[in-house]
Structures are given as C-alpha cells and as structure tokens.
Structure 1
C-alpha cells in the first residue's frame, strides 16, 4: 500500500518510493530504479499501476531487433489508478481527471497544436513522446508501464474505465485494442463492414482483437494464422480460420476456406488486415483483396524487406493499401467501450496467459518471447516467488 505526501502544489512524495525497471541493452538484467519524489506539472497525473502486459514491441526491443534509446523503462500497455494530480489534468473527453479514477492511457504524448495534431494525426505529433520508448531522464523517470507508478504527461489521452473490467482485459487497450480499432476504422472508411468478407493475416493480440471487432460489425472473418491454438481461439470468437502452411489438400488451406466463405454469393475479400508483420502475410493480404477492397497494414513495425507489388493489379482491382501505426484518442475511447460491453461474453481474459511480479520482469519477458502466450502480465503488487 502506497501513501502520498503532497509537499507542495507540484511535488509529490510516495512511500514506499515508486520503482521502475530500467532496460539497458540486450542480454543484461534490468535494474530497479527508486524514484522518491515526483514533480507534477500542470495537466499531469501520477498513476499507481495495477497491471501491465508485455507487447510484441517490448520483446523486439529486449531482443535487440529494433533500435532503442536506452536506458529506458519499457511497457506501454497497462491499467492503473490516479493517486496524485497536477492542476488542470483532464480525461480524453475533456472532463476533469479525479483522484481514484481507474484509467488506461494512450501510448503517445502529443502537443495538440502542431500541423499534424491539427490534421488529426496526434500519434505523429512533431514533438511526440511515447510511454515505454523514451530514454530515462531526470523529471520523467516513471515513463513506462513496467513500474509501480507512471507519470502521465499533459497531452496524454486518459480514459476512465469501470471497476469491474478485469485488469487483464483492460491493460492491452492502451496499445493492441486501440490499434485494432484504428485499423477497422481505416477499413470501414472505405468499405461497409456489415456483410463484408474480411481476411486477417496474423492471429496475435491485434489480429484477434480486430477479428472480434469486425465480427461485432457484422463481417464474415477469416483469420490466417499458423499457430493451432490461436486458430482455435479465433473460431471461439466466431471467425473462420486458415493455416497458411497447410498442404494443398489441407482442410484449413486458405484457398479452401476462402472458397467456402465466398460460396455461391459471388463475394470477395473486401478488407485485408495484415497483423503479422511477416512478409508472406503482407503478400497474402495484398493478393487476396478483391475489387474495391482495402488492405490495412498494421503488423509491419520492424524492417521486413521490400514488397513487390504489381501496380496494374492494384489499378484494375481499384484496390487501396493504407498503413496504421498507433492511434488517436477516439480509438482508445472506442477500444474501452468495446471491452466494457464485450468482456463478459468473449473470452478476452484468456489472452493473458500468465502474470508475474515486477521483480521477475526479465523472466516474464523471456516467457513472452517464447510465444506460448499471446500476452504475459506484470503485476507490481504481486510478490515475487522465493
């Protein structure tokens, strides 16, 4: 149990001191950093972390597959409770943030005034900062979710959640769920999802969430995923599943599943969402989209080589390709609304396979990298096993 001592209008002392886990380089154990005092500027908030989940990008960083400005505090999928406020701190809808609010927040911090923010591209702000991605520096040590507390800066989209929404369901909203919402928003801007045939390549957290969202919108969904347990989960959601590695005569061969879904209705894939980040998945997403369809690329967040596309094929199909990276406040709000209304009927809590104490973060990251679970949780309040 943490206690908060407000030393001045801006300075907060938390006892015991907040602790953040600091990553330095691949292969090195993370260090625990104690932060005895926090200076809250106007519009900021201090949140005690209830649970964080490990995103694929955290794993890419730890394994050295993507550049990172170390030392840094990883983690950007989490849920927590507000324990201290700077003057004028607000939720994403503009209402005042309150002590005790249970919240999730955006991965990005945006200025709100630059040309990109004014165009609605707050996730690409000219002065963008990102939770779990920034080099640790004095004044913002609590900048990632793998910590007991996170300091939320002004310009963060903060969304209040209900007390009964399970933490394992709520935490991924800050990245995977909101990104899936953004992908479906891009698709639905071009295609009516109700009655559409949607192909999703990749059955990870984003792909499965996108499947659930598309199904809710009235689409027929096919999830192409090599892992059998993830295909089974997709079917539990109500989607069809295909194995991209299936032999020509396999029951789950993508061509067979597509043929069965199309049937005699003369339908074609109108939305392809690529959520695997694998070159073969991108090629499939582009190749299978039909006339007037849209391909939404979401998973390609690390270098995966060049993609050869026949421009004539795109032109004749009237097809379009768009990319989605992160999201804006509206998508986070919609993500929370989706989770609030669906968690009792969909097995979303099962997407987090195990949860570990913060002191066991290195072990949790190793387990997440193994691929045994779609998500692995980190709970600061949990005691480490002896």
Structure 2
C-alpha cells in the first residue's frame, strides 16, 4: 500500500514513490521512473493499479511496427483503486468519484466541447490524449498503466466496478470489451443482432468479446481463426469455429459453417466483425455478407496491404462497410455491465495466460508477443527500483 501525503492544495507526495516503466525504443529494456510528486488538477484522480493487461498495440509498439512518441509509458487496459481525488472528479454517470472506488477508465481523454465531441465522436476529440500512447512529460509522468499508479485526467470516462469482478476479467474492459461493444453498436445500425448470422474473423480478445456479446444478444456466430486453441475457446462460448486455412472436405471450412446457418433457418451472414487486422480476413468479411449486410472493420490499426474490393458487389448487394476505433463512455459503461452480469458463466479469466510483476515487464511483453496467450497480465507486485 502507498501512503498519500497532501503537501499543499493539489500537490501530493506518495510514499513509497509511484514508479512507471518507460519505453524508449525497440530492443531496449524499459527504464523505471520514480514520480514522488503528483499535482492533481480539477477533475483528476490518482489510481493505484491492481492489474493491467497487455494489448496487441503494446506489442506492436515495442516491436516497432506501430509508431509511437517516446519516451512512453505503455498500457491502457487496467483496473485499479482511487487513492486521491481532485476537485470535481466524477464517474462517467456524473456522480462524485470517491476514495477507495475500484475503477476502470477509458483509453481516451476528450474535451467534450469540440465539434467531434459534440457529434458523439469523443474518441476522436480534436485535443485527444490517450493513456499508454503519449510521450512522457513533466506533469503527466503516470500516463500509462504499466506503472504502480496512473494519473487519470479530467475528460476520462471512469466506471466503478464491483469488488467481486475478478481483475483478470475487469482489466480488458478499458480496450477490448468496450471496443467490441462499439463494433456491435455499429453493426446494429443496419442489422438487428437477435436472430442474425454473424461472422467474426479473429479470436483475439476483441473478437472473442464480440462473440460473447453477440451470442448474448441472440445472434448465431461463426468465428474464423487459424489458432486451434482459440477456435476451441470460441466453441466453448457457443460459436461455430472455423479454420480460414481449411481445405477439401474439412468440417471447419467457412462455407460448411454457412450451410449450417441455413439449416438453422438463417439464410445468410448479415454482420461481419473483422478483428484480426489481416487483409485476407477483411476480404472475407466483405465477401461473405448477404444482401443488406454490414462489415465492421476494427482490427486494422497498423499499416498493411491494401484490400481489393469490387465496387459492383458492394452496390448490388447493398453492402455497408464501416470502421470502428476505440469507443465512447457509454460503450465502456455497457462493457462493464456485460462483464458484471456474465463473468460467472463465461471463462473470460482464462484468456489471461500469465501474470508478471511490473519489474518483469520486458519478459511479460516478450511472452505476449509469442501469441500463446490472448492476454498477459502485469501486476505491480514487486516494484522496480529506478
């Protein structure tokens, strides 16, 4: 536990000092940065991290395949406890944030006033800041969750979670689960989920979260995923699992699964969620749709090859193709609500294959990069020494 000593006004001194792990460049180990003093502005809070999980974008950054401003404190999927509160700090529902609240928070910090925020696109705010993506600078050293604490800024959606919700389930809400909610919201603008045939390409954390959410909403879901262990997990959730590399008479072929939908009275796939980022999967997501269907692309967050599309097929089939990136405050609220009501019946905690101490962050990232686990956890545990 850390003791918070308020020095004067918004200035805080913590004992022992909070520590953040700073990434500088590919191939270089993280450096530990001590931040003994924190100044909380109105609307801000200091949260002690209980558990963070490693997102694919963290792995892409340390590999050098995703551009990033450095030095940088990575991490944006987490759960923690409020240990200090600035004036007028509130939860996403407008109620006062309180000391001791166990919370998750949005990856984005938005102004709420610009033209994009007024249009409901708070995740694309004109003055956007993102946890785990910003260059470390004086006054916001604790800006990512690969740290003992995070300084949560005004304009962040903060959602309280119950004490019963396992940290392994709660942490991914801040990215994967909320983004899956956003993807299904986008799909629902054209097609109702109840009774629909849905294709999900990619059984990572977002794809599996979208699968569980769609099944709960009454959809029949096909999950296309090359990894057999992830296909098996999708099947445990109630999906029809297929292998995009299956050939010949394999029962795991996509067209076989689509025939199975027809046998259930679902004549065609009308929603596809592309969560892998693979160009071939994006093609499949569009090609598989029936008339009036919608393809939601959300996996392509790093540069990749262009995807050929025949405009005539889009026109004649009345296809909609849309993109989703991050989410709104309401979608994070609904992501948490889904996890709160479903975690006892869904083995979502099993998707976190290992948890490392914060001091072992480089080993944790190396393990996450192997792809053996859907997620890898990072807990402050034994603190690194700067």
Same fold per superposition (TM over 0.5): yes
C-alpha deviation, 1:303, in angstroms:
1.0
**Number of residue pairs the alignment of both structures matches:** 384
Equivalences for residues 85-234 of structure 1 within 5 A: 85-234=85-234
Distance 1:280 1:301 in 2: 15
Q: Is the 8 A contact 1:74 1:133 kept in 2?
A: yes
Match of 1:34 in 2: 34
Deviations 1:71-126 (A, max 9, x none): 00000000000000110000011110000000000000000000000000000000
Distance 1:345 1:8 in 2: 48
User: What's the secondary structure of 2:337's corresponding residue?
Assistant: helix
C-alpha deviation, 1:9, in angstroms:
1.8
Structure 2 length-normalised TM: 0.98
Structure 1: gaps spanning 5 or more residues: none
Match of 1:79 in 2: 79
Is the deviation greater in 170-179 or in 250-259? 250-259
Q: Is the 8 A contact 1:50 1:81 kept in 2?
A: yes
User: What's the secondary structure of 1:13's corresponding residue?
Assistant: strand
Structure 1 length-normalised TM: 0.98
Distance 1:240 1:266 in 2: 14
Match of 1:360 in 2: 360
Distance 2:248 2:67 in 1: 39
Change in Cα spacing, 1:96 to 1:351, as seen in structure 2 (3 Å) is: same
Distance 1:183 1:86 in 2: 33
Structure 2: gaps spanning 5 or more residues: none
C-alpha deviation, 1:383, in angstroms:
6.8
User: What's the secondary structure of 1:294's corresponding residue?
Assistant: strand
Q: Is the 8 A contact 1:356 1:382 kept in 2?
A: no
Distance 2:334 2:267 in 1: 29
Distance 2:85 2:260 in 1: 55
Change in Cα spacing, 1:288 to 1:383, as seen in structure 2 (3 Å) is: same
Is the deviation greater in 106-115 or in 1-10? 1-10
Is the deviation greater in 309-318 or in 20-29? 309-318
Distance 1:17 1:382 in 2: 13
Is the deviation greater in 261-270 or in 39-48? 261-270
